[in-house]
Amino acid sequence: MTPQQLKNAILQQAIQGKLVEQRAEEGTGEELYKAIQSEKQKLIQEGKLKKQKALPEITADEIPFEIPETWKWVRLGEISTYSQTKKKINVAEIDTPTWSLDLEDIEKESGKIIRRVMTNDRKISGEKIIFKKEQILYSKLRPYLKKILIAPDKGVCSSELVPFDMIGYCDSRFIVYVLKSAYVDFLINSVTYGVKMPRVGTDTMINLLIPLPPLDEQKRIVEKIEELLPLVERYENAWNRLEELNKKFPLDMQKAILGQAIQGKLAEQRAEEGTGQELFEAIQDEKKKLIEEGKLKKQKALPEITEDEIPFEIPETWKWVRLGEILYKLTDGAHSTPKYTDYGIPFISVKDLSSGNLDFTSCRFITKEEHKVLYNRCNPEYGDILLTKVGTTGIPVIVDTDKEFSLFVSVALLKFNQKKISNIFLKYLINSPLVQIQAKENTRGVGNKNWVMRDISNTIIPLPPLAEQKRIVEKIEELLPLVEKLK
């Protein structure tokens, strides 16, 4: 049961007479109703109340639920001043600072005052409604927000708030809880008018059925509600913490799986698969050969990894390397904004990778001629990895298409020998806490932050043998669907 459902249940029990016992010595709702009507007639005779048109008698078909025999169903208009003309004042006539209450100053559901503004501190004009201390204030605009309260002081308010008194012997607090109940909430919101800014009409409110217990019982009900609501609040705090944990749990599990994977704890090591050192040397030998053949540009040597940089232990058959050491090419896209066209070659930026996939649906386009110039320097191909480096940094995306496209400067291109490095393993590695922390620490600037190419190249990663990389991927992809089911 959610906190709101629990609160609704408490209020519903309260207005059905199930929260406290009935006591014969406290009288009946019928007796209270008659006393209220007598008081009402007296106020009318004294000119303090305007006589209203009689409201229709309550029929059996209207009654929404059973109440104790000592209670009575009444209409709100019979026991309150809701329909009485409200006193107004022109703001220009207010000569001393006065509390000016607006809907935005009231917290939804609780009805708490979250901001108290005086007339001299608020830009207001025209007429305002005058309200007195201890009147009930009911928001007829968007009543589902339940901005209902008892005024702690006098002031003026928006015409969207209706101030009214209970006549004679009624506990205003009890009536506020009735108005906040799920019964009233459902009823009122089913008959509001207006689509964007729904309101409830006066006729609806004065004809609203209210269960009326004896006054002393009203007070005991209020005491019981106010004894229980702090417990509901504690329950809500615990519920919210649990909800937050539930939301975080799948992501935390995913991080944990990737964390275990890159520490060599997800799949066993096998001697026959060789070592990360051997794989690293093979990559360096191939890079040297390609440089000699003029097929690869010589890269500046990266600094050796120091003991202080190593974040955790890895298997003896693995090797710590820098990302740039295993790449054959690390570059980024166009450094200046090209001329866009309505069609042509797709031009990919961070927004087209933010989902974790290469998405062409809302990308820009450039001409074939401009693409050709850009593609000479930055040529994404099937199986390469794209890496976001500006704004939202650190999102790796495997190129899963043979379609030609160009990149903007916000995206880096990672090229490597896919026969020696599993691109899926490398994607999971980049998504792991190890690399994401480095990305966050090295992302610089204000506004559109940048993970610069040098820092991407210097990123420290563990390198297992290729066969083990593939087995790690298999294990990850066996576990991640189970995590998805937790969402």
pLDDT tens by residue, 451-479: 999 999 999 999 999 999 999 999 999 99
23 and 140: one domain?
no
Q: Which of 172, 178, 188, 83 is nearest to 136 (CA)?
A: 172
Look at residue 468 and tell me if it is in a domain.
yes
Q: Which of 29, 32, 50 is nearest to 41 (CA)?
A: 50
Distance CA 412, CA 107 (A): 47
Neighbouring residues of 119: CB distance < 8 A, sequence distance ≥ 6: 91, 94, 97, 98, 99, 100, 156
**Predicted TM-score (pTM) above 0.75:** no
Q: How many CB atoms lie within 10 A of CB 321?
A: 21
Domain of residue 397 covers: 264-485
Distance CA 444, CA 450 (A): 5
Name the burial class of residue 27, with classes exposed (0-12), middle (13-18) and buried (19+) by CB atoms within 10 angstroms of its CB.
Answer: middle
- Total number of domains in the chain: 3
Q: What is the pLDDT of residue 110?
A: 93
Q: How far apart are the first and last CA of the chain?
A: 19
Q: Which two tokens stand for residue 251?
A: 């992501």
299 and 355: one domain?
yes
Look at residue 93 and tell me if it is in a domain.
no
Summarize pLDDT for 69-126 with one digit per residue, the tens: 999 999 999 999 999 989 999 988 998 999 999 999 999 999 999 999 999 898 888 9
Distance CA 147, CA 136 (A): 11
Q: Which two tokens stand for residue 485?
A: 């089911």
Residues in a beta bridge with 163: 137
185 and 328: one domain?
no
42 three-state secondary structure: helix
DSSP 361: T
374 three-state secondary structure: helix
Neighbouring residues of 209: CB distance < 8 A, sequence distance ≥ 6: 58, 62, 63, 64, 73, 74, 75
222 and 273: one domain?
no
Give the residue from 113, 145, 162 where a domain finishes.
Answer: 162
Residue 202: its H or E element: helix 202-206
Look at residue 242 and tell me if it is in a domain.
yes
444 and 350: one domain?
yes
**Residue in the block written with tokens 């048109």:** 53
Look at residue 421 and tell me if it is in a domain.
yes
344 and 247: one domain?
no
Look at residue 205 and tell me if it is in a domain.
yes
298 and 435: one domain?
yes
Q: What sections of 262-310 are H helices per DSSP?
A: 276-292
Low-confidence ranges of the chain (pLDDT < 50): none
311 and 395: one domain?
yes
Distance CA 180, CA 385 (A): 56
User: Residue 248: what are its φ and ψ, rounded to 5°?
Assistant: -80, -25
Give the residue from 217, 247, 262 where a domain finishes.
Answer: 262
431 and 467: one domain?
yes
Give the residue from 229, 262, 295 where a domain finishes.
Answer: 262
Q: What is the pLDDT of residue 487?
A: 65
Look at residue 87 and tell me if it is in a domain.
no
